[in-house]
Amino acid sequence: MMVKRIIRNVGAVVAVALALFSSYGNASAEVKEVRLAKQYGLSYLSLIVMEEQKLIEKHAKKAGLGDIKVSWATFSSGSVMNDALLSGSVDFASGGVAPLLTLWDKTKGEVKGVAALDTIPLYLNSNNPAVKSVKDLSSKDRIALPTVKVSIQAVTLQMAAAKLFGQKNYDKLDKLTVSMKHPDAQAALLSPKSEITAHFASPPFMFQELKDPRVHTIVNSFELLGGPHTFDVVWAHERFHDANPKTYAAVLAALEEAIAYINRDKRGAAELYVKASKSKEPVDVIYGYLTKEPIGYTTTPLNITKYSDFMYQSGSIKNKPNSWKSLFFTNIHNKQGS
């Protein structure tokens, strides 16, 4: 009788222990650190706001995740982002639409977009007075952009070439391109001693360059694509998305709050940008960019399919997305994207 009682008591203790272990495992299932990467410029303003205002930490606590560590890195291009994501160095990457499409294709959809960051035009600026349009570019010109062939600037240049010279000649201008970080490319374009005669830039660099009377714009991506389009996006691997649903949702909620803040208080956002980026331009100038230039912030993907269709036609990606939703996790499928 006593033996049965002991066995029964031991069984109860084991059951309680297993329950506690299970409870602990569920609570500890999600990561205790989330790692994000951004790039240079105003197109990453929403990520800067997230970092400066600690919005991920805020939404993680709200979701019951406690105090999680949030780490930020700054990279120079989308291709570097992709390498970091595949190696497991970061959980969330950010950059142009083209690098997302490249990795979505390479991983057969295991990597998907989290959300858009903005609607911002890209300007191809030139300091060569003989170059009035893309057709005037020659072997004497060198075009700086983040990464040759695969950055969104490189793909947009290919789209401009295809429109002018025909689809078969979409890569006609690739031989003129040089990989450079935006700050370095801007310095090179404005230097009289540099071989760089053009820069496919993003804000604020493209606006800053146009203050030099020698510089003019030869391609505006909004005009090329026939309207506003998403420039930058955030993407992640489905492994992280599936294993950490609360953390993923906290990041997305933080992004939505950051964008709402920018649209509500552009001066405050300009102040944050100047502080975080150590911009040499005053707050009033950055505020002017945010209010007077065609810059918008939204998580809704726009005209993504124009890029995916072109990259499929040119052979840059082997798989054609059925729609923009194929490229993004379901969390934003309720958006009116394109």
pLDDT digits (tens, 9 = 90+) for 226-248: 999 999 999 999 999 999 999 99
Model confidence band, residue 25 (pLDDT cutoffs 50, 70, 90): very low
Distance CA 61, CA 141 (A): 52
- pLDDT of 77: 79
Q: Tell me: the pLDDT tens digits for 72-127? A: 999 877 788 899 999 999 999 999 999 999 999 999 999 999 999 999 999 999 99
> Which of these three, 165, 193, 225, is where a domain ends?
225
pLDDT reported for residue 79:
82
Same domain, 127 and 270: no
pLDDT of residue 229: 97
Task: Residue 328: give the domain boundaries.
Answer: 34-120+230-332
Kindly report the CATH number assigned to the domain that includes residue 303.
3.40.190.10
- Predicted confidence at residue 177, as pLDDT, reads 98
pLDDT the model gives residue 277: 92
DSSP state of 29: S
Query: Which two structure tokens, joined as six digits, stand for 181?
Result: 């970080």
Taking Cα atoms as reference points, which of 265, 258, 266 lies closest to residue 291? 266
**How many independent structural domains does the chain possess?**
2
Residues 235 and 326 in one domain: yes
Phi, then psi, of 56 in degrees rounded to 5 = -65, -45
Helix-then-strand count for the chain, H and E: 14, 10
Residues 111 and 129 in one domain: no
Mean pLDDT throughout 169-192?
96
Q: Nearest-5° angle of CA 114, CA 300, CA 88?
A: 15
Indicate the residue among 201, 225, 249 that finishes a domain.
Answer: 225
Q: Is the CB of residue 234 less than 8 Å from the CB of residue 92?
A: yes
Q: What does the angle CA 178 – CA 182 – CA 186 come to, to the nearest 5 degrees?
A: 90
Q: Does pLDDT of 2 surpass 70? A: no
pLDDT of residue 72: 97
Label residue 10 by pLDDT band (50, 70, 90).
Answer: very low
Residue 9 lies in a domain: no
Residues comprising the chain, all counted: 338
Q: Are 72 and 37 in contact (CB under 8 A)?
A: yes
Residue 178 lies in a domain: yes
Burial 69-79 (b: 16+ CB within 10 A, else e): ebebeebbbbb
For residues 257 and 269, state if they share a domain: yes
Amino acid symbol at 43? S
Q: Which of 64, 82, 25, 49 is nearest to 266 (CA)?
A: 49
Cβ contact 141:176 at 8 Å: yes
Residue-wise pLDDT for 195-233, tens only, equals: 999 999 999 999 999 999 999 999 999 999 999 999 999
- Looking at the domain assignment, is residue 15 inside a domain? no
